[in-house]
Amino acid sequence: IFFRSLHLTMGDGEGEAVKVAVRMRCFNGRETKENATRIVRMEKFEKGSNTFIKDPNSGQEKKFVYDYSFQTHSKTEQGIGEWADQNTVFDTLGRPVMNSALEGKNVCLFAYGQTGAGKSYSMLGKQDDPGIIPRTCDAIFELIDNNQDASLTYVVEIQVVEIYCEMINDLLADRKKWPAHGHKPQLTDQGYIVK
Distances in Å between the Cα of 192 and the Cα atoms of 68, 98, 146, 158, 195 are: 29, 19, 31, 13, 10
What distance in Å separates the CA atoms of residue 170 and residue 156, rounded to the nearest whole number?
17
Specify the DSSP class assigned to residue 26. Answer: P
State the pLDDT at residue 79. Answer: 93
State the pLDDT at residue 108. Answer: 84
Q: Return per-residue pLDDT of the chain as tens, 195 residues.
A: 344 444 444 444 555 678 889 999 999 999 999 999 999 999 999 888 999 999 999 999 999 999 999 999 999 999 999 999 999 999 999 999 999 888 888 888 888 888 888 888 999 999 999 999 999 999 999 999 999 898 988 888 887 888 877 788 888 888 888 888 887 777 888 777 776
State the pLDDT at residue 9. Answer: 43
- The answer to whether 83 and 71 are in contact (CB under 8 A) is yes
Residue 12's Cα: distance from chain center in Å?
A: 24
State the pLDDT at residue 174. Answer: 86
Residue 46's Cα: distance from chain center in Å?
A: 20
